[in-house]
Structure 1
Amino acid sequence: MEELLAKHRKEQKDLQARITQKKKSATKKSRKGINDECDRLQREVSERQQAEIAQLNGEPEQPVDGLEDLSLDASDEVRGSPDQENTEPPSETTSSLQSSSSATPQSSSPRPKKPNRQKARLARRAAEQAAQSAIAAEEAANQTDHRGNEKEVMDGVFKRLQLKEVEINPDGHCLFSAIACQLDKQGMSLKPDPQRMILQPSTQSRIDTVASPKHDGYRAVRAVAADFISDHKDDFEPFMEEPLDQYTRKIKLTAEWGGQFELQAIARAYGVEINVVQGDGRIETIKPGDEQESKQVIWLAYYRHTYGLGEHYNALYKDT
């Protein structure tokens, strides 16, 4: 019985894999036909397995249709008419049938055991679960390791360009914190050149109250980027999906993530060139917009998959 159940489990596993593959390849038009075919396959395998279990347990097979009618007709032919029964001795065939019939009730052979349906049902369920686990494991093995691939590519670029990475806290301020660290590292002030922009009093206050560029310098950089966008709204507003005042308020006062607008505003406000190393190895360069080449260069690493919260920027320095 154990060998048969093991064989049934394997058949159920193989069938489940076939059914899963058929359903995955189904289209909207062919889905109903494939579902019907899958139900038929499942029913045929189930019926065949139940029949094999019944045969192993010694259950009698069901009689063929019409067999009982044939036996009754044969008995009538043997018995004949009442007159014949009184005048003719019973034939050999009749005696043998009567003898067999009278012996049947006295048979002491044991009744066959019924198949354990609960055990067979549990075996089928275990086989289905094993098949599903195997399919899930195969799908997981075929998935692309975006995080590992991104990190491998980035490390290769860092090594080639002799860049050293500095981790920035992934708290929503990472772009502005990385810029503040870079400005401080290169001896630049968080306050832009007055010839480039005139600061609002609230922004000047934020710059004056920064305790450490590495820890809260992002407050100053956020305010500078927001003010620059407001002062040059014709360059930014046509590309925004919300009112400019609402957008710049979020950049200045909340942990709203920074992106392309803020990189352009920061490069132009501080007069620096910003190079962003991408996860696929590309380097995006944002120029300050001046005709004269900028002498100050800031490097950033931009990740899309490596950090759990999503997009993230780290600071990069030339490894000297």
Structure 2
Amino acid sequence: MEAPESLEALQARHRKEQRDLVARVTQKKKSATKKTRKGVNDECERLELALKERQAQELAALSGENEGQEEVPEEDESPDNDVEKTLEDMSISEPSPSTPANTANSQNGFKKKPNRAKARLARRAAEQEALAAQAAEEAANLPNQRELERTRMKELFDRYGLQEKEIRADGHCLYAAVADQMTVARLDLKPKILPQINGQDTALPDYKVVRHAAAGYIAQTPDDFVPFMEEPLDDYLRKIKDTGEWGGHLELAALSKAYGVTINVLHADGTVNKILPEGAQTEGDAKEIWLGYYKHGFGLGEHYNSLRKIP
């Protein structure tokens, strides 16, 4: 039978759970958007309440198991202090006519012994609350990565003469941003390089057409892409065409070659990743489109927006 958890081990686990929850809640709140903030706050309150209730139940259960057992002296208590406390606890109290509790206790001639275990639990709970408050304060003092990223991107827009077209953060953002760029540049969404999209595919929404273009090019040139995949090719292609799976560098590389365009991806640190199409050796060899890459600015995580050139 597994030995019951000691009070010290229980308190240590509770402190760690509280620190972990504070970090988790802080990250959720920082990533929330205006639309999702209320739901995130409600979820965070439920998590905090659930943790407090569970920890209180565990403390109460452990306190009940220790009820009636011999008190273990605290580390800072000396033998002399124990003797003095024992004598004090066993001393005869004077009856008090105005206090019923004292009258009842005086019938046996002894003062009621204080529950030192409960006092220790209360002190530990106060220490845990102080630690949680300290962790929350430290998290609040961290820089707002979302606002910082936004500020830096706006500065870069001015440098490159760009204006942002915000794309919905729904898993299709990379493909929708490419579709917007192709439309603004008056470029055909039908790939210039095999495979060609059939009439049924071209009747799809623009972002879906772009998804099919990426999947089709990868299917036609698997040797260029399979070494970088962590799953079978067929599964990978199905996710591109038929789901809301996020796109990344592999899909951008496929789209650059399928459409014959240079794709510029602007990051908040000033980096511009240039993805050149087949046959292009330097800048200017092909038409360009621009995407903005965000790591902190949107609730779902990584995100792409369309960056249009200012006329």
- TM bucket (normalised to shorter chain) is 0.5 to 0.7
Amino acid at match of 1:221: V
Give the TM-score of the pair, scaled to structure 2.
Answer: 0.60
The one of 194, 201, 204 equivalent to 1:197 is: 194
1:62, CA displacement in angstroms?
A: 8.9
1:139, CA displacement in angstroms?
A: 3.5
The one of 206, 216, 219 equivalent to 1:230 is: 219
2:130 is aligned to: 131
* C-alpha distance in structure 1 between counterparts of 2:197 and 2:310, whole Å: 37
* 1:299 matched to 2:290: yes
* C-alpha distance in structure 2 between counterparts of 1:166 and 1:178, whole Å: 8
The one of 295, 304, 310 equivalent to 1:313 is: 304
Task: Summarize deviations over 1:140-179 as a string: whole Å, max 9, x none.
Answer: 2454533233223222212222211111111111111111
**Taking structure 1 as reference, are residues 251 and 133 closer, same or farther at Cα in structure 2, changes over 3 Å only?**
closer
Is the contact between residue 261 and residue 288 of structure 2 (CA under 8 Å) also seen in structure 1? yes
Q: Which ranges of structure 1 fall in alignment gaps of 5 or more residues?
A: 1-15, 25-41, 64-107, 211-215
* C-alpha distance in structure 2 between counterparts of 1:243 and 1:121, whole Å: 58
Cα RMSD for the two superposed structures: 3.7
The one of 37, 43, 66 equivalent to 2:74 is: 43
* C-alpha distance in structure 2 between counterparts of 1:270 and 1:290, whole Å: 12
* C-alpha distance in structure 1 between counterparts of 2:266 and 2:158, whole Å: 12
1:114, CA displacement in angstroms?
A: 5.6
2:255 is aligned to: 266
Runs of 4+ in 1 over 4 A off after TM superposition: 59-63, 108-123
**Taking structure 1 as reference, are residues 171 and 124 closer, same or farther at Cα in structure 2, changes over 3 Å only?**
same
* 1:244 matched to 2:233: yes
2:159 is aligned to: 160
* C-alpha distance in structure 2 between counterparts of 1:278 and 1:165, whole Å: 13
* C-alpha distance in structure 2 between counterparts of 1:198 and 1:133, whole Å: 57
SS at match of 2:74: helix
2:269 is aligned to: 280
**Taking structure 1 as reference, are residues 200 and 109 closer, same or farther at Cα in structure 2, changes over 3 Å only?**
closer
1:206 is aligned to: 201
1:319, CA displacement in angstroms?
A: 2.1
**Taking structure 1 as reference, are residues 187 and 125 closer, same or farther at Cα in structure 2, changes over 3 Å only?**
same
Is the contact between residue 197 and residue 228 of structure 1 (CA under 8 Å) also seen in structure 2? yes
Give the TM-score of the pair, scaled to structure 1.
Answer: 0.59
1:276, CA displacement in angstroms?
A: 0.4
* C-alpha distance in structure 1 between counterparts of 2:177 and 2:94, whole Å: 89
Aligned-residue sequence identity (percent) comes to 47
